[in-house]
């Protein structure tokens, strides 16, 4: 939660930076969204449970273009929670992701020689609530992912397809307990796992209907040195539906498969790599800048 407060404190400076780059070769865009829902029941014959939930999102992009040089930067922050009656609140979504991609146009074409740097982690601790007492299974920088890639990027106004045959993927687990358990693929007791492989990154954004925008980000990674056939997948799809200047609805889905992340089956107690899926739908306030 402290990290979320830091981001919120720094957010006005991001707005100032946006004003500073106006009338230059930079193109900037961003939005903040707050979705909230609440149900209150008292002596309700049909049954049910009082609850409330919320989701806060910040998306920001700053892109530079001059002659054959392009530099694309993006920030994606999300934090959500859910609380049912007298139970403690639990997080429902948690993401911080920063991406920077530098490209030089390869002749008179839509292909660019490109390098990419990406960092991803989360704000708060995550728990397995099936255990008693609850078990901490993740936190900030446990895991944290840093990706550095070199390759070719095909770019249009709506689409980017980056093929990177040289990609380094670094997984950080800075928590001693999770590190000793070998969580997220690190060797037991180690804080870092380094992988060398190939990466395919596909990004698509387009207004498919009036006031309806589709965004899709697909990442595929294959480790050259260990089980290259087991491709890591991270695919996020977001549909933004504008109601008016301040109201919007959004649907977010994300599918992840990472062969190094072992998840325990609550029925059998057996841990293994599993397909992860998240879906979130909300209506709330949006401010674009």
* CATH classification at residue 194: 2.40.230
Residue 8 pLDDT greater than 60, yes or no: no
- pLDDT tens, residue by residue, 182-229: 999 999 999 999 999 999 999 999 999 999 999 999 999 999 999 999
What pLDDT does 9 receive? 44
Of 196, 77, 113, nearest to 148 by C-alpha is 196
238 closest CA partner among 59, 37, 104, 107: 59
CB 273 within 8 A of CB 264: no
Instruction: Give me the number of domains the chain comprises.
Output: 1
Structure tokens at 141: 């920088």
> d(Cα 105, Cα 102) in Å, to the nearest integer?
10
Question: 39 has which bridge partners?
Answer: 51
Residue range 54-105, pLDDT digits in tens: 999 999 999 999 999 999 999 999 999 999 988 889 999 999 999 999 999 9
Mind spelling out the 3-state secondary structure of 98-130?
A: EEEEEEEECCCCCEEEEEEEEEEECCCCEEECC
Alpha-carbon torsion (259, 261, 262, 264), positive or negative: negative
Rounded distance, CA 270 to CA 262, Å? 9
Six token digits for residue 181: 């358990």
Residue keyed to tokens 């008693």? 132
pLDDT digits (tens, 9 = 90+) for 41-55: 999 999 999 999 999
Q: Which residues contact 215 (CB under 8 A, 6 or more apart)?
A: 204, 205, 236, 237, 238, 239, 240
Phi, psi of 20 (to 5 degrees): -70, -25
d(CA 245, CA 242): 7
What DSSP line would sit under 144-165, residue for residue?
A: EEEEEEEEEEEE-SSEEEEEEE
Domain that holds residue 159: 2-40+49-288
Percent of the chain with pLDDT over 70: 92
The mean pLDDT value for 133-156 works out to 97
């Amino acid at each position: 939660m402290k990290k979320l407060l830091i981001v919120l404190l720094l957010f006005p400076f991001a707005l100032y930076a946006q004003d500073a780059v106006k009338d230059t070769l930079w193109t900037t865009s961003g939005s903040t969204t707050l979705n909230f829902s609440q149900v209150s029941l008292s002596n309700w014959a049909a049954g049910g449970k009082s609850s409330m939930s919320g989701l806060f999102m910040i998306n920001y992009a700053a892109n530079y273009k001059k002659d054959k040089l392009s530099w694309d930067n993006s920030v994606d922050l999300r934090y959500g929670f859910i609380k049912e009656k007298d139970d403690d609140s639990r997080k429902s979504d948690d993401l911080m992701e920063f991406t920077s991609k530098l490209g030089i146009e390869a002749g008179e074409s839509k292909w660019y020689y490109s390098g990419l740097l990406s960092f991803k982690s989360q704000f708060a601790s995550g728990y397995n609530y099936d255990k008693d007492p609850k078990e901490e299974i993740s936190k900030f920088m446990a895991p944290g992912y840093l990706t550095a890639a070199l390759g070719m990027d095909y770019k249009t106004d709506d689409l980017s397809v980056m093929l990177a045959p040289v990609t380094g993927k670094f997984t950080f687990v800075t928590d001693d307990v999770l590190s000793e358990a070998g969580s997220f693929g690190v060797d037991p007791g180690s804080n870092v796992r380094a992988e060398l492989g190939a990466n395919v990154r596909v990004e698509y954004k387009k207004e498919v209907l009036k006031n309806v925008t589709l965004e899709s980000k697909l990442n595929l990674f294959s480790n050259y040195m260990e089980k290259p056939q087991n491709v890591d997948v991270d695919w996020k799809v977001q549909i933004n539906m504008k109601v008016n200047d301040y109201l919007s609805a959004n649907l977010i889905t994300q599918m992840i498969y990472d062969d190094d992340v072992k998840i325990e089956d609550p029925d059998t107690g057996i841990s293994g790599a599993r397909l992860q899926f998240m879906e979130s739908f909300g209506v709330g306030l949006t401010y674009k800048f």
